[in-house]
Structure 1
Amino acid sequence: MKKIPTILFVAVVSLMLSSCGVNSALILNNNQNSTMVQLSSNNYKVIDKVSGSAEVEYILLFGGLNKSQLYENAYSAMVEKANLVNSSKALINIVTEEHIGGVPPFYYKRTITVSANVIEFTQ
């Protein structure tokens, strides 16, 4: 009987100190460009892998950006790092990852990370 309060205390402390989080990854073609590129021949090389992320925090379900704006911010950060201006480069294999952590509904943080491979055309 004396061990029950100790066990209950350890269980409560363990739950309070544990991390709560959810991850998901999506492989989608969110790029709405109408450019057609043929990658069937050996006319390109993979030169880099870039990523961009954006996060928002919510307290008592009140917070900043919605999910689509968060995705746009992460995508913009990735494209900026890719340095695609005035070159024959393109982004391929775009992957979107989302992580939600915290203790909902009191506090949680949503992080969206978008990553892709940068290719450069040689011919």
Structure 2
Amino acid sequence: MKKIALIVLASIVLSSCATHHGLTRNYNQHNTEVVLTQNNFKIVKLVKGEAEAKYIFGIGGLSKDGLIAEAKKQMLASADMEGASRTVINETVEIKKSGFPFVSKYKVIVSAQIVEFTK
């Protein structure tokens, strides 16, 4: 009986809890509508940015909105959109939370497609 209780206790202490959320919503307060009804564009590339933070006893790191902003900033830096008629479409925000007792880690991945207009 003591052996089983020790195994259960050890598995609880050594296991991690991880959750993953993929969000396809706009975190901005402003919207720009792009209607892709004509054959005047091409998908140039897929871009992504990542940001993560660790919390010990709930203290540390950036807030969730700060992580999303940092990941989006990194994504847009790799988009190479200056000087071209390009825009970002299909933006997706994924949030992964994992943790051990007293320590948790958030990782945010923002990905999107870059579209270039040809006409």
Which of residues 12, 15, 36 is equivalent to 2:12?
15
Unaligned runs of 5+ in 2: none
* Identity of matched residues, %: 37
Q: Does 1:55 align with 2:52?
A: yes
Provide the C-alpha distance between the structure 1 equivalents of 2:5 and 2:33, rounded to a whole number of angstroms: 62
**Partner amino acid for 1:82?**
A
Matched residue SS, 2:48: strand
Q: Note if contact 2:14-2:100 (Cα within 8 Å) is conserved in structure 1.
A: no
Give the alignment's TM-score, normalised by structure 1.
0.85
Matches of residues 107-118 of structure 1 in structure 2 within 5 Å?
107-118=103-114
- The offset of 1:33, in angstroms, is 5.7
**In the alignment, which residue of structure 2 is the partner of 1:96?**
93
Unaligned runs of 5+ in 1: none
Matched residue SS, 1:74: helix
The size of the alignment, in residue pairs, is 119
**In the alignment, which residue of structure 1 is the partner of 2:115?**
119
**In the alignment, which residue of structure 2 is the partner of 1:37?**
34
Taking structure 1 as reference, are residues 31 and 46 closer, same or farther at Cα in structure 2, changes over 3 Å only? farther
Q: Note if contact 2:15-2:100 (Cα within 8 Å) is conserved in structure 1.
A: no
1:17-67 superposed Cα distances (whole Å, 9 cap, x missing partner): 322112112111335566543311111111211110111111111113112
Provide the C-alpha distance between the structure 1 equivalents of 2:84 and 2:54, rounded to a whole number of angstroms: 37
Matched residue SS, 1:90: strand
- The offset of 1:93, in angstroms, is 0.4
- The offset of 1:14, in angstroms, is 2.0
Q: Note if contact 2:94-2:110 (Cα within 8 Å) is conserved in structure 1.
A: yes
Provide the C-alpha distance between the structure 1 equivalents of 2:109 and 2:98, rounded to a whole number of angstroms: 14
